[in-house]
Structure 1
């Protein structure tokens, strides 16, 4: 396999030749190797991992699409209220620099969920992202929403616009490097909640189907999956049903019961149900408009000019 094929196989991403070429040229400059054939021939596991770091897209921020976290917290409360005596287990993949799993931990804490009641696994392809996530230190770019009051509750200011996540929340998240398509992540049906957002958009159709099959195997039968907005149709085509919660982009398995823990949560519900949104609608034929002749109506005489209005100054009290 050439370098492009090796990187596609290692990441599962539908990488373009331009993206790989930029990464290769960057690594050639970093290693001081000027000959392309020599560089390609010397790509081992370590160098391949370095190339992977240059082609992944780790962009994220805290409380991105916040309704997803509101739904996850409400779902968790529902499970705990039912008297279940086990951990509510959650997965964030890909987790980038930890922004998503830490947001999930904060949302659960703010909802009053005890820290001993949940556990979060967070996985990313990038070892650099995992190292940054484990450190839990974030700059101004991670706080993008209008409401950043959570920063005062869950972060310590360390100067130079840097903030560190609370140590107690950091302990609730377990990070590891891995690949959704190839890494053995957990036994089947291990997770009640899975966040997998904005990953499938980088896959081709066969890889998308394979990734969704892996996620379906990991998700509990009555669990929920939170996706990116553009990815919902792909999940619907591969065994998932959308849940009708506005701006959460949540789904359940097709075979899941209608009255599962996700049903009837006290959250804003889409006015158009998921079933209606996914059902093809008949085309609407445009109405034929007929020109109606205007009756000859004499124009009214022009109005008399208005009397001039004098400007006055109002003295302030």
Structure 2
């Protein structure tokens, strides 16, 4: 066997002792798919940690790899170097509004039993604290809910427990919550202790969650992390989360992860822009077959969208009305608005897509296009269906066709922006997001 490289620079990524074995180790430990953040980013993190380790201990890259496998503290140092937190308060704000409404319903259905929420991973705490603020502002007393927040990064958890944040944690234009729940302190903002104390933080690895260590949760938020896993790991994490979800519970994911959950057989909760899902009801009576009781569905304005991998918006069928099963009296053609006369078949296509019948939905959308070849909504729906199937090129072509027909189609703009970001073309994605903002009067 050839001599091991003493310097990381001498290790070729394609050789047995290059970056590949560290990528494999990170994949086994935290499930990271290196391609999701770029192998160069992983390489830089390993290089940094190896050079620091070598200054203290000496030895080869092989020695460092062996040390990682034998010393959990050393492995944690590498994890901290790879995991870079990127979050902010009320990211995708409709999700928090939906959670608060659903929590009120849950409390009404089960009086005396607190609502349980899990934020996993919680990063530096902004998501978990956003949950707490949303529940309290919805009139739910702190003793009527519990929030557990877990993350693999101790560094992120230490920031979360401190509950002191800088300007980057507050994004968008709606910052009234900061005035209500924070005070200016030490060049930043300190969260109200009453909010901070309502969240319990602990270290845990999504790949090794013990469902028996927790009481089941009514709501689980696992947002914008599944996109960093390969398909096998995504399925493993979803199985673990399913084991933590109470009967009738709701799972919230990131905007770019909705297609994954549809492919795995979960059902949309039909709340626009909330990215909320539930498992199919096993009994014949499906309590989730329509809108949640007591949870009014609103059509919000376009939220502030980051130029990151999570720029998708909820598919248009999420708020589509149920298809009528009884005949409707025909209106005279001269009094029927053009938009109205086009919606019947397209609504059926959306309903089929929402039910997971993607082939039938695509056929219905194409049949509609045969009669209405210039309808941007139909092409957008075909794009979302292609996304759910994992058909990358087809989805992008449909979104572009929708934008050719309607340059201000905000959903197509947002979805195509997310696709371009995943392709690494963040410059073009930012331009599309800016157009989406202008399409709804946003100044972002």
Q: Give the TM-score normalised by the residue count of structure 2.
A: 0.61
RMSD over aligned Cα atoms = 2.5
- Give per-residue Cα distances to partners, 1:93-127, cap 9 Å, x unaligned: 01010000000000111111111000000011111
Cα gap change, 1:134 to 1:3, in 2 (>3 Å): same
User: 1:252 offset after TM fit, Å?
Assistant: 1.0
Matched, 1:19 2:41: yes
- Give per-residue Cα distances to partners, 1:35-82, cap 9 Å, x unaligned: 423332332222111100111242100000000000100011112223
Q: Give the TM-score normalised by the residue count of structure 1.
A: 0.83
Paired residue for 1:263, among 292, 295, 305? 292
Contact 2:121 2:222 in 1 (8 A): yes
- Return 5+ residue gaps in structure 1 as ranges: 290-317
User: 1:5 offset after TM fit, Å?
Assistant: 1.6
- Return 5+ residue gaps in structure 2 as ranges: 1-19, 300-317, 322-349, 374-444
Instruction: Choose 148-157 or 16-25, whichever is displaced more.
Output: 16-25
Name the residue aligned to 2:357: 279
Contact 1:92 1:120 in 2 (8 A): yes
Structure 1 outlier segments of 4+, above 3 Å: 185-189, 273-279, 283-287
In the TM superposition, what are the counterparts of 1:35-184 in structure 2 within 5 Å?
35-43=60-68, 44-160=71-187, 162-184=188-210
Name the residue aligned to 1:228: 254
CA distance in 1, matches of 2:211, 2:128: 16
Name the residue aligned to 2:50: 28
Contact 1:188 1:219 in 2 (8 A): no
Contact 1:242 1:250 in 2 (8 A): yes
More helix per residue: 2
Name the residue aligned to 1:200: 226
CA distance in 2, matches of 1:272, 1:86: 33
Contact 1:61 1:143 in 2 (8 A): yes
CA distance in 2, matches of 1:111, 1:129: 28
Contact 2:254 2:275 in 1 (8 A): yes
Greater relative contact order: 1 or 2 (C-alpha under 8 angstroms, separation 6 or more)? 1
Q: Choose 1 or 2 for highest CA Rg.
A: 1
SS of 1:2's partner is: helix
SS of 2:207's partner is: coil
Q: What is the number of residues matched between the two proteins?
A: 288
More strand per residue: 1
- Give per-residue Cα distances to partners, 1:246-282, cap 9 Å, x unaligned: 1101111112653259714112264436743343311
CA distance in 1, matches of 2:51, 2:31: 26
Name the residue aligned to 2:24: 5
Cα gap change, 1:189 to 1:276, in 2 (>3 Å): farther
